[in-house]
Each structure stands twice: as C-alpha cells, then as structure tokens.
Amino acid sequence: MSAPTHATAVEIASSILAADFRRLGEQVSDALAAGVRRLHVDVMDGHFVPNISMGPLVVEALRPLAEKAGAILEVHLMITEPDRYLNDFARAGARAMTVHVEACTHLHRTVQAIRALAAQPGVALNPATPLGALDEILPAIDVALLMSVNPGFGGQAFIPSTVDKVARLRAVLRERDLERIAIEVDGGVDPENMAALAAAGMTIAVAGTSVFGAGAPVGERIRLLRAACVAAPPRARPRPAIRGSRR
C-alpha cells in the first residue's frame, strides 16, 4: 500500500469521532459519496489520553462501507500498549494503523508488526514532542502524523505552530529522500488553516468537526476543505528541521 506523497493533492481523512453516532452510517456514507477515501477512527483508552472512545467493533461495522467505496480505514491508536490490539484491528478491517511515539517502548517492533499485518504503519507526535523523536523510525513508516491539538477530545482549537512543524518535517523528508512518507495533521483542521498546512507540506488532513459539524451538509463541508487546498500558495522551501538528522 502506498502512502500519498507531497506531489499529490491533500487527502481528507474524515474523523468519525465528530460524527453523530445516531447517524454514523449515514454520515460516513455522505463523506464517501463526496469522494473521501480515508476514514479516520480515533481509539482512546482513558490512560494515554483522558478520554475513552471506540474499538474494533466500530471498525468492523464501517468495513463494508469502506470496502464498497475503495476507502482505507485508518485507526489512530491513542492508547498504551498498542501492540496488544494490532491483530484485533487488522481483523476488523483496519488498513492503516498509527501509534504514538510517546506510548511505544519498542517502536520499531510495533511498526514492523503493523506492516506484517498488511497495514500502513504510521507514527504520531503530540504537539510538545520534538520532531527529532521521529529521526530513527522515519525510513520504516508510511505516515508521520503531527497532532495539532493535545489528543483526547475533538473540537479543540488548532495550535498555529503546527504549520512550521509541518514545514520542518517536509524539509527533513526532502533532505533524506523520504518524500514517499505522508505528513498527516490531526486536530482543528478547517478551511481557515488548510491552505497554510498544504503549502507547508501536509498531504493528509484529518478533519472531524469541519466535516461532520452542524450547519452545512457533509458534502458541502468537504468541498470547502478541498477548495481551501486548491487555493494554497506554492510551497516555500522551509528551513532545515531536525538538528542532527541522518541523511
């Protein structure tokens, strides 16, 4: 499975955490009908983050919709000991799994286990975690996810410094010939910051409230996000990022 590269349009990953669970199937179907091909499932355990969300049964329930549309179900494992649950999520239908560097004792082993399950391996960083934490694991992953809010709850305000963090990571990927790796941004992404993130080098935008929030149909909200990406200015050459990175 290949991850998007920065040369392609930004892909929208609809985060179902913000959906109305009374109408989950309907809202996910609306997102898929609007062309979304990545469904983002936030998994929280009440330990790594101060909230509890959903597990493999939700992934399994969404699997028929995703498979019919040719979409990827990605799980964002904001949990301690994620290795214990990788097989369960793979059996449920997850085709991409992202774990947090802050939660994994043996990160390479976890990433290898995800790839062995025929899923795209991703690694996430919390807002205060420096990019250097990705230095050794980058060649082994398909997706680098940068949190633009502190994880645990949907609907939080976007942390503006994330734009510079994306640009610095893009510079590192370019310098190390790793531009196949997708840069995913999760938290508070909306039409107002979409252009700046796209210009900095984001390739996957996790959008929850900006897709499933009240006030406009799901398809219209997705259209607005895409329009913001198209309006993004050309990407500037960002300043070098991780000090001491291997090339």
Residues in the chain: 247
Q: Which of the following is catalytic: 30, 45, 142, 186?
A: 186
Q: What is the DSSP string of 8-56?
A: SPPEEEEEGGGS-GGGHHHHHHHHHHTT--EEEEEEEBSSSSS-B---H
Q: Strands 120-125 and 11-15, how do they pair?
A: unpaired
What is the distance, to the nearest Å, from the Cα of residue 122 to the centroid of all Cα atoms in its chain? Answer: 8
What are the distances in angstroms from CA 134 to CA 66, 225, 243? Answer: 30, 28, 12
Pair 74, 41: CB distance under 8 Å:
yes
- For residue 111, CA distances in Å to 6, 48, 79 come to 22, 18, 15
Of 30, 42, 142, 190, the catalytic one is 42
**45 is an active site residue:** no
How many DSSP H helices and E strands does the chain contain? 8, 8
Based on the residue annotation, tell me whether 164 is a catalytic residue of this protein: no
Please give the positions annotated as active site.
42, 186
